[in-house]
Homo-oligomer: A and B are copies of this chain.
Amino acid sequence: MKIPAKVVNRLTLYHFIIDSLSADENYVSSTKFAKLLGVDNSQVRKDFKYLGKTGKCRVGYPAKALKKSIEEKLGFRATRNAFIIGAGNLGAALAQYRTFDDYGLHISALFDTDPQKIDRTIGGKNVFALERLEALVKKLHADVAILAVPPVAAPEMARYLAAAGIRYIWNFTPCVLDVPSKVKVWNENLIGSFLQFISQEKMASK
């Protein structure tokens, strides 16, 4: 059963919640999850149905089993290798975002065009010259690019990534990319996200 994208997002939030429970909280009710997330409690129960896990009346859902089940369904095990394109402030920050590895996203390396940055390391990861991208896509089995270059460089870089065999571009630039349809783009769009946030009233997640 295919899990809808929005449910995938909420499943990670449930996982965060379980992670932050104290050791003696063995069971959690759908109402507790719902309050923390600002959603209806029946939605929580529906989400858990995708996991195939059942709860106990009067008690709730077993925290540890639920956590493990989320990890299996979302495939944290099957780590994906990604490259960060642009070793500036944002690229460096994302390279050092420790939690990615816990959730199945491994940053294999960074790429830049600035000779000052090339051949250094950031957070223990190599920064390579952009020209080496295509070869390393194949060698390291990375098909995800995290795009963190200045806006002015984004359009050309997107074309370059597509030509180099990248299949997924996680786009952190304030630009809309024009790429062949075989390449999937996810616009993180921080600005749109922020305006969405302040334009509405309720607590929310994407």
Contact = CB atoms under 8 A, between A and B. Distances in A.
Interface of A: 3, 5-6, 8-13, 16-17, 20, 36-38, 74, 80, 88-90, 92-94, 96-97, 99-100, 103-105, 144, 151, 155, 168, 170, 174-176, 178, 181, 184-206
A104 B94 CA distance: 24
B96 A195 contact: no
A8 B195 contact: yes
A206 B193 contact: yes
Given A99-B174, A199-B3, A205-B192, A187 B151 contact: no
A99 B90 CA distance: 13
Contacts of A99: 151, 174, 191
Contacts of A189: 9, 12-13, 205-206
B175 A97 contact: no
Instruction: Please indicate which of the listed interface residues A178, A184, A186 has the most CB atoms of chain B within 10 Å of its own CB.
Output: A186
Given A17-B176, A196-B5, A186 B170 contact: no
Contacts of A205: 186-187, 189, 192
A194 B105 contact: yes
Contacts of A202: 184
Contact of A168 (B37, B80, B168, B197): B197
A96 to B, nearest CB: 5
Contacts of A94: 90, 93
Contact of A20 (B16, B144, B175): B175
Instruction: Please indicate which of the listed interface residues A96, A170, A189, A192 has the most CB atoms of chain B within 10 Å of its own CB.
Output: A192
Contacts of A74: 195, 199
A178 B20 CA distance: 11
Instruction: Please indicate which of the listed interface residues A37, A144, A206 has the most CB atoms of chain B within 10 Å of its own CB.
Output: A206
Contacts of A11: 192
A9 B204 contact: no
